[in-house]
């Protein structure tokens, strides 16, 4: 059996030991990941709410003006017209892809519940999603 040099935890093989040691909580040079609480203390990107939480303060007060601005932006982000424009652009792009690369969009390349799109070109029918 192999033992961790930091916490003396037993491991069965060398690979398991290496993975444990690099993440061991007693390792002073361990790799920090989002699963570790210390990861959030060391990250550079933060906001006023996270800083207040780290310092043990109450959440900052957001003004009514800021709240209305945020709500207006979120309401106008994806309107019905924008969704229709976006879906039309995607359909046109899909048709161009099928015309440019018909071999990639053969019937055999699709499986499951993919939506099929049939385009007739040069007497042949190309299938796409």
Which domain covers residue 31, as residue numbers?
2-55
Res 50: pLDDT: 79
Q: Is residue 67 part of a domain?
A: no
Q: CA of 103: how far to CAs of 49, 110, 125, in Å?
A: 52, 12, 11
Looking at per-residue pLDDT, the higher value among 101 and 12 belongs to 12
Same structural domain, 46 and 9: yes
The model's pTM: 0.31
Residue 68 has pLDDT above 80, yes or no: yes
The domain boundary residue, chosen from 55, 74, 100: 55
pLDDT value of residue 4: 92
3-state helix, strand, coil in the chain (%, to 5): 50, 10, 40
């Amino acid at each position: 059996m192999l033992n961790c040099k930091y916490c003396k935890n037993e491991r069965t093989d060398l690979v398991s030991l290496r993975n444990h040691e690099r993440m061991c909580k007693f390792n002073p040079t361990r790799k920090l990941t989002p699963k570790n609480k210390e990861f959030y203390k060391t990250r550079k990107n933060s906001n006023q709410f996270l800083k207040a939480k780290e310092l043990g303060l109450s959440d900052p007060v957001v003004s009514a003006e800021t709240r209305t601005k945020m709500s207006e932006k979120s309401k106008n982000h994806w309107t019905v017209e924008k969704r229709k424009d976006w879906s039309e652009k995607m359909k046109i792009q899909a048709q161009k892809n099928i015309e440019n690369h018909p071999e990639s969009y053969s019937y055999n390349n699709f499986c499951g519940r993919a939506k099929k799109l049939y385009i007739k070109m040069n007497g042949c029918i190309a299938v796409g999603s």
